Amino acid sequence: MLCNRLYWGSIVGVQAEETGQGNGPTVVRMGDRVTLSDVADAAEVHVSTASRALNASSRSVVRPETVDRVLAAAAELGYRPHPLARGLRTSRSDSVGVVIPDLENPLFGPIVAGIERTLVPEGCSVLITAAAHHDEEEVAQSLVDRRVDGLILATAQRVDPVVEALSKASTPIVLVNRQVESVDVPAVVGDDRIGIRLAVDHLVELGHTTIGHVAGPSELSTGYGRRTAYEQAMHDYGFRVLVEDGLGFRVAPGEDATRRLLEREPSITAVVAANDLLGLGAYRTARALGRRVGSDIAITGYNDVAMLDLMEPPMTAVHVNFRRMGAMAAENLLAQVGGAPAPSKELLKPTLSVRASTTGD
Amino acid sequence: MLCNRLYWGSIVGVQAEETGQGNGPTVVRMGDRVTLSDVADAAEVHVSTASRALNASSRSVVRPETVDRVLAAAAELGYRPHPLARGLRTSRSDSVGVVIPDLENPLFGPIVAGIERTLVPEGCSVLITAAAHHDEEEVAQSLVDRRVDGLILATAQRVDPVVEALSKASTPIVLVNRQVESVDVPAVVGDDRIGIRLAVDHLVELGHTTIGHVAGPSELSTGYGRRTAYEQAMHDYGFRVLVEDGLGFRVAPGEDATRRLLEREPSITAVVAANDLLGLGAYRTARALGRRVGSDIAITGYNDVAMLDLMEPPMTAVHVNFRRMGAMAAENLLAQVGGAPAPSKELLKPTLSVRASTTGD
DNA sequence: GTCTTTCCCCCAAACGTTCGCGCGGCCTCC
DNA sequence: GGAGGCCGCGCGAACGTTTGGGGGAAAGAC
């Protein structure tokens, strides 16, 4: 949709032509890209006519047989349009920028894969950049400079000045996985309320009544949302709210938070972690305290990243389809650049992957 | 090095100017990018002079005070150069393309992170694309079309026509993690001989003499290299060579191959897997056969991806520093585009992360 | 037969940079 | 005091594409 791709040229990057016939040494010229005017010459039309013939949208204004001649010439010469020149003229680049907080986090691989899988078939390339908090503005700026057609951000904080600034600019943006509260901007995120509710309901069904929560960072919508969802669920059931903050979505903070939780309230029989790694931290603490995960204490994770089913015991976790999340974000962006009204907020329903860490085998 | 970055402008993408003073409604014009000629006008110099003043390399030919005036004007207006226009003129794009076989594979996150961390500070952006075998040529072609300054490929097979074609073209390339045999092209890969040797030596020290190998795909240099390294090691020790092929670097193939291995030779006490996931497959089979990993049978993985230390028992694995590998590949590429002689083959020494899957606690 | 319409196609101006070339002025040197 | 050299800067073309406008020829209406 973004671009009309119909060039068949498959010569990879080098147009090897022999010049100097016979007398001198055979010179192989490299990198002599064939340009639109070459095609025009070969088809014996003006360059502008060639352009119109190649571009599906304007093709209607040129006589069919001329179109054929141009297309044939383009195919023959292996013509490939120059994206920079086109972008300069049209001020579009057929590319989108993606900003990821941490590429090593297993969560973002699938998101990017989903984005990729949706955008590349549209002839749109994907610029990926990692950005810590302090980088974020600079990184986003450099993407905007490159005239990306849109921006997908996975770095949003609940209040995020950079996102606010970007949302006022003309470049369409979509948030993914995390959302921002201070301003209304399109976002594709998981439904944390439903997810946490799935975990809690599951635990309640198993008979648990004293359920703790290892929370994630409160400046992120995911951490905050899951915490409030947990509190709401406890309230609905009439159970006590028992929360400890993990200072980051990592194993060590989960270990610490769980320790504090269990020291404060030893009667806890189940822990809902805001994230898989926090949950694995809970595993460690439980073991260190001599409690067997799955039988003595139930633990649930959140996200269900790869290899969780290979843990011992395999971990029950709220499953989020990140690949689909990425794809939806990409589609949302495509809709925006296409001028279509894009949904402002899309909630992805999670499911629950029940494993031995709650059922005890 | 690639680009001389010195523009301070921090206005994110929108130049909001008020036009119409007082009478009409205040119109906020958006997206009116400030261009080089604006800067030139403000500094009262010709656009070419402004260009020279901004570009560190040509700055020497313009009078210092003029440079200051231009720089001040640029800062004042928040000028940001147009990469597309620049790229069109200079036929460079300050960007490199990265082709990854599978973004969901936890191995490639760190590689990309390493690449990213090295290139972005150089003012060079990173275009990431995923490519299956059949895609590879098309994907690489589209990157070349975009005039990337270089290409980093993680998709190489031992004999790979696409890589061969690309190596003849003018775009510099670097292979990462996997290498190609049919042609000499710069590559940054792990030293599989050393890695496998580390694992085998470790097992021999523990007293094992009947050691099997679950091999990876033989069309990949990693699968093939580790297999031959294993064979060599067995030969050196005078042990029997016991290999079964895993048809892919995944859990299920590892499960099957290990089953075949143990059925064929039940006396095996240790399994060297060509990959972590294959090793986890071996875990499963071992358990299914009633053998306790770490005590009844030792298993080693290869790569040491994240969360391996959280398995039960934690898995001993050859550790490859993929982040560094990515960084080295990026540096190699930078050297190439800088015209410097880049090392043709760089071997990264792996280490061994010893855990309970071999030591039994 | 002329005028209008329709249909193709060419012309040329952009888009925002970079860079070779050439020109004027100041300094230096004899 | 005049000639040459150098320094600083302006001029304009080019990179490859898109796109509005204009023009010529064939076709249709009267």
- Reported as a single tens digit per residue, the pLDDT across B276-320 is 999 999 999 999 999 999 999 999 999 999 889 888 899 999 999
pLDDT in tens, B83-132: 999 999 998 888 999 999 988 888 999 999 999 999 988 888 898 888 87
Q: Among A31-35, B4-8, B32-36, B329-333, which is the least confidently predicted range?
A: B4-8
Tell me which of A26 and A184 has the higher pLDDT: A184
What ranges in chain A are assigned the alpha helix state H? 36-43, 47-54, 64-77, 83-90, 108-119, 136-145, 161-168, 192-205, 221-237, 251-264, 276-288, 322-337, 356-359
Assign A1 a pLDDT band (cuts: 50, 70, 90): very low
Task: Judge: A112–B120 Cβ closer than 8 Å, yes or no.
Answer: no
- A3, A96, A104, A320, best to mutate vs chain B, most B CBs in 10 Å: A104
Whether A86 shows a pLDDT value over 70: the answer reads: yes
**A contacts of B311 (beta carbons < 8 Å):** 310-312
Residue B161 has a pLDDT of: 93
Whether A132 shows a pLDDT value over 70: the answer reads: yes
pTM passes above 0.95: no
Separation in Å, CA of B120 to nearest CA in chain A:
8
Task: Judge: B88–A85 Cβ closer than 8 Å, yes or no.
Answer: yes
Q: Is the Cβ of A14 closer than 8 Å to some Cβ of chain B?
A: yes
Q: Write out the two tokens for B222.
A: 């990693």
Residue closest to C14 C1′ by Cα: A89
Residue B23 has a pLDDT of: 33
Q: Mean pLDDT over all residues of chain A?
A: 89
Residue A226 has a pLDDT of: 98
Phi, psi of A326 (to 5 degrees): -60, -45
- Judged on CB neighbours under 10 Å (0-12, 13-18, 19+), A57 is exposed
Q: Please tell me whether residue A17 adopts helix, strand or coil conformation.
A: strand
Assign A361 a pLDDT band (cuts: 50, 70, 90): confident
Separation in Å, CA of A121 to nearest CA in chain B:
10
E strand or H helix that includes residue A18: strand A17-19
Which of the 8 DSSP states describes residue B122? G
pLDDT in tens, B36-68: 999 999 999 999 999 999 999 999 999 999 999
CA distance B117 to B125: 10
Tell me which of B121 and B27 has the higher pLDDT: B121
Whether A5 shows a pLDDT value over 80: the answer reads: no
Whether A83 shows a pLDDT value over 70: the answer reads: yes
The DSSP annotation for A272-339 comes to EESSHHHHHHHHHHHHHTTPPBTTTBEEEEEE--TTGGGSSSPPEEEE--HHHHHHHHHHHHHHHHTT
What ranges in chain B are assigned the alpha helix state H? 36-43, 47-54, 64-77, 83-90, 108-119, 136-145, 161-168, 192-205, 221-237, 251-264, 276-288, 322-337, 356-359
Tell me which of A133 and A195 has the higher pLDDT: A195
% residues pLDDT > 70 (chain A):
91
Q: What angle do helix axes B108-119 and B322-337 make, rounded to 10 degrees?
A: 40
- A84, A94, A275, best to mutate vs chain B, most B CBs in 10 Å: A84
Residue B131 has a pLDDT of: 87
Q: Write out the two tokens for A218.
A: 């409160």
Phi, psi of A315 (to 5 degrees): -95, 130
Whether B22 shows a pLDDT value over 60: the answer reads: no
Assign A87 a pLDDT band (cuts: 50, 70, 90): very high
Tell me which of B139 and B198 has the higher pLDDT: B198
Q: Write out the two tokens for B353.
A: 């992360």
User: What would the mean pLDDT of A300-305 be, rounded to a whole number?
Assistant: 97
Residue A293 has a pLDDT of: 95
Q: Mean pLDDT over all residues of chain B?
A: 89
Assign B185 a pLDDT band (cuts: 50, 70, 90): very high
Whether B21 shows a pLDDT value over 90: the answer reads: no
Torsion of CA B337, B343, B349, B350, to 10 degrees: 40
Q: Write out the two tokens for B172.
A: 């510099």
Residue B29 has a pLDDT of: 34
B49 CA vs C21 C1’ separation (Å): 14
Cβ count within 10 A of residue B5: 15
If you average pLDDT over each of A97-101, A256-260, A335-339, which comes out highest?
Answer: A256-260
* Cβ burial B173-198 (10 Å sphere, 16+ → b, else e): bbbbbbbbeeeebbbbbbbbbbbbbb
**A contacts of B130 (beta carbons < 8 Å):** 113, 116-117, 120
Calculate the CA A25 to chain-centre distance.
53
Least Cα distance to A352 among A306, A310, A327, A316 occurs for A316
% residues pLDDT > 90 (chain A):
74
Residue A121 has a pLDDT of: 86
The DSSP annotation for B2-42 comes to -S---------S---EEES-SSS--EEE------HHHHHHH
CA distance B48 to B63: 14
A52 CA vs C6 C1’ separation (Å): 19
Q: Is the Cβ of A13 closer than 8 Å to some Cβ of chain B?
A: yes
Whether B28 shows a pLDDT value over 50: the answer reads: no
User: What would the mean pLDDT of A326-334 be, rounded to a whole number?
Assistant: 96
Asked whether residue A42, judged by its CB, lies under 7 Å from any atom of the DNA or RNA strand D, the reply is: no
Whether A157 shows a pLDDT value over 90: the answer reads: yes
Separation in Å, CA of B104 to nearest CA in chain A:
5
CA distance B10 to B31: 14
Task: Please state whether beta strands B270-273 and B211-215 pair in parallel, antiparallel, or not at all (unpaired).
Answer: parallel
Q: Among A232-241, B130-139, B236-245, B257-266, which is the least confidently predicted range?
A: B130-139
The DSSP annotation for B286-326 comes to HHHTTPPBTTTBEEEEEE--TTGGGSSSPPEEEE--HHHHH
Whether A10 shows a pLDDT value over 70: the answer reads: no
CA distance A129 to A137: 12
Residue B338 has a pLDDT of: 83
